[in-house]
Structure 1
Amino acid sequence: MTLSQWQPSRKSDVPLHRQIEQYMKDKILHGEWAVGTKIPSQRTLADMFQVNRSTVTAAIDELTSQGLLEGRKGGGTKVVNSTWSVLTAEPPLDWSDYVRSGIHRANSSIIQAINQNEPRADIIRLGTGELSPDLVPADTIGRMFQQINPGVLSLGYEQPKGNRQLREAVADHLKGKKIHVSPSAILIVSGALQALQLISIGLLKRDSVILTEKPSYLQSLHVFQSAGMRASRLADG
């Protein structure tokens, strides 16, 4: 679990423990603290927020009474399953059901044929925007890598949610559009297809109808259909 550098305001009319309570509740509501997440100890939170431990205890007690947190002896305090049943009438997502559902439905036969022929050396893959091997400036790229400072080139694994600087840049960009979200609530995906898959299983409901343009590349993929939804084309005009 990661926490931002947020601090309660001592100039606010809202008591410190209420500010901390709302901050932690927002983390839960926005999905940053998922069900089962173990929150930091009261002593750690008190140090982070620079308040007395009793202030943190009051905030946690209130969230516990609301059914958002649960403390267990020797097991710390965790976000509990009753969170979603208290805050919304919708049932929680059954992720195990999605796991059991297994493989996605196959793409259309045309897309399958394209995928099968992509490795062929005599074909230039315009669909993926990749250059023909003889057009790749290999010598120039090689000289560029020789000039790179090894200390700057990082080959380590990124954070699970993606590069932190990129997520901070996305958060700053969204602020300009009146969308306020913390970098820890942003997930960087490998491509649009993965994003659509996460949307289909995490945000949408089964039996939903997905409206797409005509024509649309989405019609050749079965991302939504694999999640029990139906894609429908918008009528012309």
Structure 2
Amino acid sequence: MIKKMLLLLILFSTLFLPIHVFATTVDITGGSGETVSYIVSLDSTDTSSWAGQINAQFGDSSSYIGAYCVDFYTDITDKGYSIDGYSDVLSYTDTFFTKGNGLYAAWLMNEYSSWLGYTGYGFDELAASEAGLQLAIWDALYDGITDTDNDGITDTDNFVVTTDTTTTAAYAYYSEYIAALLDADLTDFTGENFQVVKLTDAQDLIVYNPVPEPGTVILFGIGLLGISGIVRKKKA
């Protein structure tokens, strides 16, 4: 019976846990996006930077998953990084945005990430769509989703996209995605399939289903051991 329980645990891990479930490192290998510009009024940042989907390879995996930045105050380049830990989107916070805003970032990624199957962008505009999505994620994190006048623009201006280097297409996608978020019903959206990967000396990244809560795996294992114990007692 114990052997069967162990086989069941192995099968569970194989079928339900991502390949990078226990990853402690990640390699950044390019991505899809373009240069944008924005102003962060909270600390008077006025800058241009690359924005878009980042390709992240976890552990020894040979494939990548799509990721987006949730911490633009720290740089990230194409190289390997150590992982400091993970956070669910509702608990994740930063100096300049409210805890819980990560849920909005998760909703945007769920709806508009090409890595998750979104194909609603125009011909040859994948990079612009991904840049617009990254801008929308930053806006949602730093401005929330309050829109009292229903104009499709957040009431606060902590994060403002400018057109200095942002292309017309990227700005249009950003505006479309933010407007959709402000109009969305998030009652049933929990963001539970998304988590934030905290990197050492680099931007924190939001990804789809990177690592289940450790407690989930532990409880499953304890349950199997408990069942095997009961079976052994009955046989005795």
TM-score, normalised to structure 2's length? 0.23
* Larger strand percent: 2
Greater RCO structure (CA 8 Å; 6+ sep): 2
TM-score, normalised to structure 1's length? 0.23
* Larger helix percent: 1
